[in-house]
């Protein structure tokens, strides 16, 4: 381009036209050629219809100029519509943003509540876990203690069974010994009675014998021996009964 918009603005500010276009007018009577050239180049650059011919008198050039102006007006209308649509969309976006911000605040409040609830549940869970672990440890200790008691009871039971068998054997031996003692006692008692009967019989037959004192001493010796043996047997029987009672 030969001239720029800044150049034209500078020229317009230095040369006011006779038509009263103002201080910031783009074109004046002195720069029409330059303005027309600049406008044509700019319109072609932005894709508008054929270039303007502002000084033409033929209908075709005037029609091209009208079409170009109409395209500019349409572009302006599209710009206005786009701005209005953009502004409406911006307002909707702002409204949506406000609603979203309010929703975010509500969600943040809900998240804070849930965080507090989660913290409370976490503390309760930790407390419950500690209580459960303590109960498990206690149950394990009780189980170990019970197992030790079972083992101890089994050992005691085994020992008791052994002691019972031992006492049963001793009891059988004592029963046999008691029966033997009783049999001996019966035999001795029977023998003593026979001796007594025999002595009484002989005493009646020897009523006229001499030496009655010797016979009396012999008889007394036999009775004393029998009494001593009887006391020994009674003492032994008492010991055996006491031993049996201690084993029951």
- What sign does the CA torsion over 242, 243, 247, 248 have? negative
- Using one digit for the tens of pLDDT, what is the confidence trace for 33-88? 888 888 888 888 877 775 677 777 888 777 877 887 888 888 889 999 999 999 99
- Using one digit for the tens of pLDDT, what is the confidence trace for 170-187? 778 777 876 787 677 666
Domain ranges of the chain: 5-98, 167-247
- Does the pTM surpass 0.85? The reply is no
Q: Which two tokens stand for residue 74?
A: 């349409």
Which SS3 state, helix, strand or coil, does residue 55 take? coil
Task: Output b/e per residue, 138-176; b: 16+ Cβ within 10 A.
Answer: eeeeeeeeeeeeeeeeeeeeeeeeeeeeebeeebeebee
Instruction: Tell me whether residue 38 is exposed, middle or buried, using C-beta atoms within 10 angstroms of its C-beta: 0 to 12, 13 to 18, 19 or more.
Output: buried
């Amino acid at each position: 381009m030969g001239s720029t918009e800044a150049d034209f603005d500078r020229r317009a500010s230095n040369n006011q036209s006779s038509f009263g276009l103002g201080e910031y007018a783009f074109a004046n009577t002195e720069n029409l050629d330059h303005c027309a050239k600049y406008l044509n180049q700019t319109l072609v650059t932005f894709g508008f219809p054929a270039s303007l011919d502002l000084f033409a008198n033929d209908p075709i050039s005037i029609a091209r100029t009208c079409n170009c102006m109409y395209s500019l007006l349409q572009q302006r209308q599209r710009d206005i519509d786009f701005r209005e649509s953009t502004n409406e969309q911006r307002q909707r976006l702002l409204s949506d943003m406000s609603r979203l911000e309010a929703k975010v605040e509500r969600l943040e409040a809900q998240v804070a509540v849930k965080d507090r609830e989660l913290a409370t549940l976490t503390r309760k869970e930790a407390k419950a876990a500690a209580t459960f672990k303590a109960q498990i440890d206690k149950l394990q200790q009780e189980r170990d203690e019970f197992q030790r008691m079972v083992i101890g009871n089994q050992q005691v039971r085994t020992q008791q069974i052994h002691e019972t068998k031992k006492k049963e054997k001793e009891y059988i031996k004592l029963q046999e010994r008691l029966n033997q003692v009783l049999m001996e006692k019966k035999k001795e008692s029977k023998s003593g009675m026979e001796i007594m009967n025999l002595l009484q019989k002989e005493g009646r037959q020897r009523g006229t014998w001499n030496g009655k004192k010797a016979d009396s001493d012999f008889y007394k010796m036999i009775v004393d021996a029998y009494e001593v043996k009887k006391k020994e047997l009674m003492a032994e029987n008492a010991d055996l009964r006491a031993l049996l009672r201690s084993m029951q």
